[in-house]
Structure 1
């Protein structure tokens, strides 16, 4: 049986109580009690009875999971999902730390002193972008794949099932000189990387916390560890 994506259902969002949960590889499948629907998100630590908020869902009909040998009549693959009142507070603290405003250290933060790159220190990719480019043209670049060369400034691990990575490349003017990337991959502070991901705008993670620009589903290559 083949799955088809319903283009009209690209804004699936809401809040529900977890009635059933299945972890499959890097994904978590959740059946939500109130809506009676299934959603799939990046690996999410959750349990039956938890309240989960989700957004950015695209519906797939007759989706067959070969791993589970099961066909879902309807399932929403969502961009963002988190446990209400729990993970949101953690990621907000992580973002504040990344911006240098937090005083409380998270247990899963890989925190070392990394000096921000000086202007011109990091050569941009020939066919890529800079952080200044991305922030200035975020509306035009929305939902597009972009690549850049940058240094890893801070890493916050395993929040909402992802690693949250702060990048700088020596372009832009504070505070618009940093880019947060989310990824299932793990890099280390100080690494010089080529980051490739999908640019998202106006990310709402709930409880009033939004991010104007974020790089999602990021992959990293050409790692050069700083001395």
Structure 2
């Protein structure tokens, strides 16, 4: 059994899975304005941001929509919409991490030039 465990650990290391969490932890925290400005270049990439929750809509299409602002940007670039299985309360200070999606259209008038999907939401202490 010990040999099997060692072989499995070697396989994980060889596949690069052991370093996956380290690279995820190295994701640079970006401002909401910078994310809006650089959204095309960031499409498909995992990002991290921090800010205050200003609006929450839970249970829509099997996910929660959380709006985060950090004080950067203007009226067209100061809001970050995040979808997640997790939620937060208005007023919470949070760190989010998720995948950048651009020009996401859910239909019925719900279109987002920038959306962070499948995000983790962590309260700041």
TM-score range, shorter chain: 0.7 to 0.9
1:160 aligns with 2:61: yes
How does 1:144-159 map onto structure 2 within 5 Å? 144-159=45-60
* Partner of residue 199, structure 1: 100
Pairwise CA RMSD? 1.5
Q: Measured at CA, do residues 207 and 154 of structure 1 come closer, stay the same or move farther in structure 2, by a change above 3 Å?
A: closer
How does 1:51-130 map onto structure 2 within 5 Å? 127-130=28-31
CA distance in 1: counterparts of 2:110 and 2:66, whole angstroms: 17
Deviation at 1:223, TM superposition (A): 3.2
TM-score where L is the length of structure 2 = 0.74
Structure with the bigger RCO (C-alpha within 8 Å, sep 6+) is 2
Deviation at 1:218, TM superposition (A): 0.7
CA distance in 2: counterparts of 1:167 and 1:175, whole angstroms: 14
3-state SS, counterpart of residue 78 of structure 2: coil
TM-score where L is the length of structure 1 = 0.42
How many residues align? The count is 99
Deviation at 1:209, TM superposition (A): 3.7
Deviation at 1:176, TM superposition (A): 1.6
Q: Which runs of 5+ in 2 are unaligned?
A: 1-26
**Is the contact made by 2:29 and 2:47 (CA closer than 8 Å) also made in structure 1?**
yes
Q: Which runs of 5+ in 1 are unaligned?
A: 1-125
Q: Measured at CA, do residues 170 and 204 of structure 1 come closer, stay the same or move farther in structure 2, by a change above 3 Å?
A: same
CA distance in 1: counterparts of 2:35 and 2:91, whole angstroms: 21
CA distance in 2: counterparts of 1:154 and 1:140, whole angstroms: 27
